[in-house]
Structure 1
């Protein structure tokens, strides 16, 4: 069980443990199903999660902070967080009648450049202080010498992680663990039955079911302990996806796990279940096979464009409280706007053609008055674009740049500032006097409702902007939002930020929408950034279907 620090302390000093953040309820639910819990408290968790679980505000408070090290500023903030978190977990420890069996120190720290043993010892000491000297601490690292050398610490039991492989490799990996843990169990604390997916990915390198079962069976034969990661897929709702150096992680965290992100059974699940059921010495026999949750395709939904990205969009958001006027552009962090989008706006004081922004993260949608000029890209796979030639960039024209934070980098850990991070020039001359406004989910939803009765369709030549529609669900069930033929954007249903869609790039096409997000009368709002799809004169359409769609264009079944 990962606990992302930034999910519970989105803003410094304001803690959230309600609703989806109720970790006590989650742990109790595990106990009620006769499960032990391995808690992974971080402070860094990886998990392909936004910033690896580290709060964005750390780099706002200390822009040169060395995260995941013994930097006193970082350890001070971790201690404040652990002061809140660890007493909550204490009541759920096994020794106190709860299901928490072990607590992980950091996460795959051996993969981090710092190799700071003092830092790891400090974390371990904090855990001992709050949870007791008898609590079982452990570390998880890759199975090589360099990973274990830097990732282990004195009072924590070293474990390793690896996916399906040969018996020879399993022996070698556990031999390396045994070198650092001469006594105690062999443990694969992250056994991978699948893998993550990035936007733009063309193929998956996945293990076969036979490879999964053969490796698991051999580890079982050795008496090793096995923890599947992931066993149940998940979803990066809202803006919670992380990113790698080349591309962001998709909204789905299905991971091709034995149970899908919607909780459905897969052939992997049935194979693992049958494998365990046939183990005569395995005391926990599987129960009845559960039924999949109901999925309903609610069909086509008409969306009306209510607010194009342009001057009126800017006029409405500039009245919000999350705006600042500065001589030069500021970052998301300086604006204290953590995720999603920031709109940068200025009125040009001189004519020009060539717009250049040397450093901007991650994508910038450039608009002159009401016309989309193009998209600047910091880096996507091997592509980047930091300049463009503008049309209509004249004195008095309104230049708007909508910048999207596509998710802070998960690994390696960096101080991942977002937004416009350099001067903006037009034909080499610096553009100054900017207003920047953050677009919170509540603001986007309220903008849609305020603009609903107005019509700016004659302003929009691009199809980018806010769209809104309604649909009725006679019976509530899980469903999948299908934006095929649309470009890229964000979707909100009944105020819930479902996540990012990008069918023009893929491989994920549909977004999972769980039943609890729906009502009988539903409102859908779409922020489209590239081009709307399936449009007629007065409206465009999207669909809700009863199954997910991914469009991997190449197939490969070899796992590495």
Structure 2
């Protein structure tokens, strides 16, 4: 070896020794997936993690929420990183202030806890577009969660590099507290492309996470859809699950792997127009104890949900179901940061499973108290019609992404000729809530949740100005409908005198979500009303957290001193928005409410507790009143019996075209049980793969629970295994129980697959069934 090489090697060794010594001085450690258990510095380590989301918690409250999790018995905090939060405009990254995730992780370490990081790029989390940035949608043929789209993969790599710059130095091997980093998120529910997952794994590694343990998470029903060498596997499931059944197949495939439930769902999220979700303490705590008794690591999703401030609440599909602003999640720590009964049940359980010398600290004192203020009347008003920007023009309606707008509302305008008689306006696909005006007079609305597309227009003898104001809720964060462009997708058609005219030549006015906070509005102290912004100031001499009660208002958003509190909607279940005291100041505070409807009562009130009230609408029930389906002249294509064992049940049919399917449950596994339940229903195409349910719609369900729980029949095809269709619990009816689904188009099918409920309960589990299909709607007869 020559002298030059010798000196070079010597310098390299000196550098490595210095680096290792520096890491040891900083407390560098090691964490990895060992044989049958995780290992911290070579010794078995059981992860007791609590999921928190830093954007859903005001920065001032971060440390208190971390301390609450430790006082519940946790040793680790688990976090998502939200790509679209940190890159709201392409190539413009923000990791400062409320977005300073590195500071959050350091606070976790300061409080003696480890951290698990889940950077995506896709995260779900009931977050707008599942964390993917809206500007990707400017590519017309965009594909996501695949290595086949260069724009997606290029953006992914640049984003992950920025995450690495922030957090890679905080890996446990460098003296930090990050023990694991996740690759993608629940990919098995989306696809089976092992090459894509390997590409994401390699991007994560090359972004600086080259030493930390990587992991992936999926469900017990789909974890084996793809392979990912060098990455630990974990499973996600909900409260009340049968732990042995959840891990049964995973143990068989991975006999030496450590076991972890990376998302143990402590509750569930609320959706607009649906009942408030809760999960019982008894069911929840039993499965948690089962995991502790078996030495299974876990992460509570959520330990504390917080609030999806601003435009960040997402949506599920199918069917389209936007998520409310509150992300309380019925979690152990409520939206305001207060411990609940679940918190104390977990704390009392985990104190029995601590390591020698380990203790649970005292519960920290609240950083803020709950208060209520006097009612406030918002006298100032700025009309949408008086505050329109310069329009864009195009022959056809254009979605807001192609106008370089991420969130908010968009107004479509054109003049239409006289009709002479009533006509019908047909909007092919409005995302998400379209209000129609003629000469600025409100005519009606179209709600995407209800699949509304037609609205009757009155006759008019001269040309009129047609305005379509589209107000958006969250982008779909789950499933194939995640490509969710906002505004009008498709044509607007005027049907008059038997003619159908596609309306052309539109003016489009972008109304971005931050318009109110930029103070460019023309307010008037006026009784005038309509879609627009309502403003007032409130004087405060005592700062604290509160809830703003929007009962009586219709639909929109609220800003307090420029802070966007998020969406409200009078259909419930939430009628309040959480207002953290850290958004307030002593003295004068500006409050702005954007509402899409005319308002006579402009008063808002404040309360120390959230208000839940649901306004029932036609989306909740799929029953035809005094009618029932008539199958007397129809032969079932499949009949059979299912065993009471858990897991998917399959039955095949002779391949044939159909548009309508009907499942008739004849009885339950328990002969005394009159109820029926089912977690998922899949239709198998002639290629043997599940048919995409994006166009499906429930036509009929004889019974469904929509009052005490969100168990309507459309939960059969929502791809959420822990949310089920269940017949009414308050008004029990005897078998048979029937659900009819319109597939939206003719499909050649070869079978069906059914998944019974996956929790410990056997209530409503179906035994005998019949399955009908038809190319035309089924007939109904009087009961």
Larger helix fraction of residues? 1
CA distance 1:111–1:469, shift in 2 (3 Å): same
Aligned residue among 175, 197, 207 for 1:130? 207
Matched, 1:373 2:443: yes
Look at both structures and tell me which one has the larger radius of gyration over its CA atoms. Answer: 2
Selected match of 1:511 from 577, 586, 589: 577
Match of 2:349 in 1: 275
Give the superposition deviation at 1:282. Answer: 6.2
| Aligned residue number for residue 7 of structure 1 | 85
Q: Residue 451 in 1 paired to residue 522 in 2?
A: yes
Q: What pairs up with 1:87-102 in 2 under 5 angstroms? A: 87-102=165-180
Q: CA deviation at 1:291?
A: 3.3
In the alignment, which of 395, 400, 403 is matched to residue 327 of structure 1?
A: 395
Corresponding position of 1:254: 328
- For the pair 1:158 / 2:158, whether they are aligned, the reply is no
1:393, 1:55 → 2: CA distance? Answer: 43
What is the DSSP-based 3-state SS (H/G/I as helix, E as strand, rest coil) of the residue aligned with 2:201? helix
| Number of residue pairs aligned between Structure 1 and Structure 2 | 532
Bigger Cα displacement from structure 2, 420-429 vs 88-97: 420-429
Asked if 2 retains the 8 angstrom alpha-carbon contact of 1:49 and 1:410, the reply is yes
1:430 equivalent among 502, 519, 534: 502
Report the counterpart of residue 363 of structure 1 in structure 2.
433
CA contact (8 A) 1:305 1:465 kept: no
1:306 Cα deviation after fit = 1.3
- Is 1:143 the counterpart of 2:217? The answer is no
Structure 2 vs 1, CA of residues 210 and 283 (structure 1 numbering), >3 Å: closer, same or farther? Answer: farther
Q: Secondary structure at the match of 2:207?
A: helix
1:72 to partner: Cα distance: 3.9
Tell me how far apart the structure 2 counterparts of residues 482 and 152 of structure 1 sit (CA, whole Å). Answer: 49
Conserved 8 A contact 1:296-1:478: yes
1:406 corresponds to which residue?
473
Alpha-carbon separation, structure 1, partners of 2:471 and 2:506:
17
Partner of 1:264: 338
Does structure 1 conserve the Cα–Cα contact (< 8 Å) formed by 2:370 and 2:608?
A: yes
Quick check: 1:173 aligned with 2:246? yes
In 2, Cα distance between equivalents of 1:115 and 1:466? 47
Query: Partners in 2 of 1:435 and 1:557 — Cα distance?
Result: 40
Shift in CA distance, 481/152, structure 1 to aligned 2, threshold 3 Å: farther
Query: Is 1:545 paired with 2:607?
Result: yes
CA distance in 2, matches of 1:18, 1:391: 52
Number of the residue aligned with 1:477? 544
- Cα offset, 1:283, TM superposition: 4.8
2:354 & 2:475 partners in 1: Cα distance?
47
In structure 1, which of residues 242, 260, 278 is the aligned counterpart of residue 314 of structure 2?
Answer: 242
Shift of 1:331: 0.7
Contact residue 140 and residue 151 of structure 1 kept, 8 A: no
**What TM-score does the superposition give when structure 2 sets the normalisation length?**
0.65
User: What is the SS of the residue equivalent to 1:213?
Assistant: helix
Q: Secondary structure at the match of 2:238?
A: coil
Work out whether 1:53 is the aligned partner of 2:131: yes
Task: Measure, in 2, the Cα distance between the counterparts of 1:435 and 1:47.
Answer: 36
Aligned to 1:223, the other structure's residue is in SS state coil
Are the counterparts in 1 of residues 379 and 525 from structure 2 also a CA contact under 8 Å? no
Contact preservation (8 Å) 1:108, 1:151: no
Contact 1:202 1:507 in 2 (8 A): yes
Between 1:255-264 and 1:428-437, the stretch displaced more is 428-437
- Contact 1:52 1:242 (C-alpha < 8 Å) held by counterparts: yes
TM-fit CA distance, 1:466: 2.0
CA deviations on 1:195-249 (whole Å, 9 max, x unpaired) are 1111111253x43212222211121111111111100122111111110113101
Deviation at 1:395, TM superposition (A): 4.3
1:460-494: CA deviations, max 9, x gaps? 4xx54321111111111111110112222211111
Residue 305 (structure 1) shift: 4.9
CA distance in 2, matches of 1:400, 1:289: 55
CA distance in 1, matches of 2:561, 2:467: 28
Using the TM superposition, name which of 152-161 and 275-284 deviates more. 275-284
Q: Is the 8 A contact 1:232 1:259 kept in 2?
A: yes
Structure 1 residue 340 corresponds to structure 2 residue 408:
yes
CA distance in 1, matches of 2:408, 2:111: 37
Task: Give the superposition deviation at 1:315.
Answer: 4.3
Which residue in 1 is equivalent to 2:145?
Answer: 68
- 1:84 aligns with 162
Q: Which has the higher contact order (CA 8 A, sep 6+)?
A: 1
Between the aligned partners of 2:492 and 2:418, the Cα distance in structure 1 is 13
Which residue of the partner structure matches residue 111 of structure 2? Answer: 33
SS in 2 for 1:268: helix
Give the 3-state SS of the residue equivalent to 2:414 in structure 1.
Answer: strand
Superposition deviation, residue 397 in structure 1: 2.6
In structure 1, distance between residues paired with 2:707 and 2:170: 46
Match of 2:41 in 1: none
In the superposition, the TM-score normalised over structure 1's length comes to 0.90
Contact kept? 1:51, 1:413, Cα under 8 Å? no
In structure 2, relative to structure 1, the CA distance for the partners of 1:556 and 1:410 (3 Å cut) is closer
* More strand, by proportion: 2
* Alignment CA distance shift 1:333-1:280 (3 Å): closer
